[in-house]
Amino acid sequence: MSAAKRKIAVIAGDGIGREVIPQALTAVRASGAPVDFTEFDWGAERYLRDGVTVPSDGFATLGRDFDAILLGALGDPRVTSNIHAKEILLGMRFRLDLYANVRPVKLLDASLCPLKNCEPADINFTVIRENTEGLYVDMGGTFKQGTPDELAVNEDVNTYKGVERIIRYAFEYARRHGRKRVLMSDKSNALTYAGGLWQRVFKQVSAEFPDIAPAHMYIDALCMQIVRDPRQFEVIVTNNMFGDIVTDLAAALQGGLGMAASGNLHPGKTSMFEPVHGSAPPLAGKNVANPIGAIATAAMMLDHLDLKREAAKIDTAILEAVRQRKTTSEIGGALGTREVGEWIANRVAATT
């Protein structure tokens, strides 16, 4: 894979996605990474124009013709059903079977952390979120909608295969990254069927990794501990819904959603990379959104594509931007989205 140019599908999407993704592309170009970008117009504009969320061969094209996908954000107040976001984002996760949502939580500078006395060394863990099952499968329905007897159900689906592969992914990730602990989080004290499966599989799989210490916390206790003492975590594995919630909480520890990167992976298949933040309609079009989450996400993508040197250059430039406050205002700087992107790209280009 190392010689060929990597083909990247780019979906900037909606809102601030359209501002931060161009900055991510600029940083990647500045790194000299051998990549080819192809832009797709999927998002609210397109949907409002012709009613198409994903063209009929869309997912097949992505899976067949591209090495990776870089996505901005989806969500637009004009599409109140949010149907396009669901079909594009969740569609990609499900149809491309991107079962591991990898969300690193890394504090770059003490000033970014809302907790007292936290240094970068104190916050450095990764949440591995199951990404294809759980409450997100869209199974369920409504009954007697709009009446006083209305009933609404969303099923929480957990398969042996799905639980096994995500837990195994977490242990393999830990091993690859020199981590010594994997903590599984569930709610098996109340949700006994699904929790029972997660507990049993965790025990089974952890036995195959004697070099890595297994641990467990209920999800409510985990939320409390992440705020009380984040130093104790290395790799956390959990289900789709809990992973969604806990990664917003964790993002706050690293300076907010604008800083957080993520990858939606299936080893060996076309994987998708997106910042953890959404389209943030109130911030859109004002050149105020923090592009660092998107730029860090692009670096994560390069790393995944085995372009490690280019990825490292971008990560180093991000760290410098944060240290020198060449950032947007919500993390202490005075620059706009574009100016932060340009500063980082110049820095990347100057790195040999």
Instruction: Provide the minimum distance between the beta carbon of 29 and Mn ion in the complex, in angstroms, as a whole number.
Output: 29
70, interface contact from ligand IPM, Mn ion, none, CB < 5-8 Å by kind: none
**Distance (Å) of CA 96 to CA 92, 99, 156, 224, 255:** 6, 9, 20, 34, 31
Task: Map the footprint of ligand IPM across residues 83-112, applying CB under 6 A.
Answer: 85, 89
Q: Which residue has the tokens 């409504």?
A: 142
Instruction: Provide the minimum distance between the beta carbon of 274 and ligand IPM in the complex, in angstroms, as a whole number.
Output: 7
Catalytic site residue from 14, 47, 106, 136: 136
> How many chain residues are in contact with ligand IPM, going by CB under 6 A?
5
Nearer to ligand IPM, 279 or 337 (CB): 279
Helical H segments across the chain, by residue range: 17-30, 44-50, 58-65, 83-85, 91-95, 160-176, 192-206, 219-228, 240-253, 292-304, 308-323, 337-350
112, interface contact from Mn ion, ligand IPM, none, CB < 5-8 Å by kind: none
Nearer to Mn ion, 67 or 244 (CB): 244
186, interface contact from Mn ion, ligand IPM, none, CB < 5-8 Å by kind: none
Instruction: Provide the minimum distance between the beta carbon of 180 and ligand IPM in the complex, in angstroms, as a whole number.
Output: 27
Instruction: Provide the minimum distance between the beta carbon of 247 and Mn ion in the complex, in angstroms, as a whole number.
Output: 6
- d(CA 215, CA 132) in angstroms, rounded, equals 23
- 248 has catalytic annotation: yes
Instruction: Provide the minimum distance between the beta carbon of 276 and ligand IPM in the complex, in angstroms, as a whole number.
Output: 6
Catalytic site residue from 138, 220, 229, 306: 220
Q: Of the candidates 304, 323, 111, which has an alpha carbon nearest to the alpha carbon of residue 347?
A: 323
Nearer to ligand IPM, 89 or 212 (CB): 89
Among 186, 244, 303, 342, binds ligand IPM (CB under 6 A): 244
Instruction: Calculate the dihedral angle through the C-alpha atoms of 131, 137, 138, 140, rounding to the nearest 10 degrees.
Output: -140
From the list 123-131, 159-167, 240-248, 290-298, the region that binds Mn ion by CB under 5 A is: 240-248
Q: Are 30 and 345 in contact (CB under 8 A)?
A: yes
Give the Cβ contact number of residue 40 at 10 Å. 20
Instruction: Provide the minimum distance between the beta carbon of 3 and ligand IPM in the complex, in angstroms, as a whole number.
Output: 33
- 220 has catalytic annotation: yes
Nearer to ligand IPM, 257 or 345 (CB): 257
Among 130, 133, 244, 315, binds Mn ion (CB under 5 A): 244
Q: Which residue has the tokens 């992914």?
A: 169
Nearer to ligand IPM, 11 or 345 (CB): 11
The SS3 assignment for 263 reads strand
Q: β-strands 271-273, 263-265: how paired?
A: antiparallel
- 99 has catalytic annotation: no
Does residue 130 touch Mn ion according to CB under 5 A? no
Nearer to ligand IPM, 89 or 102 (CB): 89
Backbone angles phi, psi at 293, to 5 degrees: -60, -45
- d(CA 74, CA 43) in angstroms, rounded, equals 6
Q: Annotate 58-85 with DSSP letters as a single string.
A: HHHHHHHH-SEEEEEE---TT-TT-HHH
Strand-pair partners of 104: 126
Give the Cβ contact number of residue 265 at 10 Å. 24
Binding residues vs Mn ion (CB under 5 A):
244
Report the catalytic residues: 136, 187, 220, 244, 248
Binding residues vs ligand IPM (CB under 6 A):
85, 89, 244, 276, 278
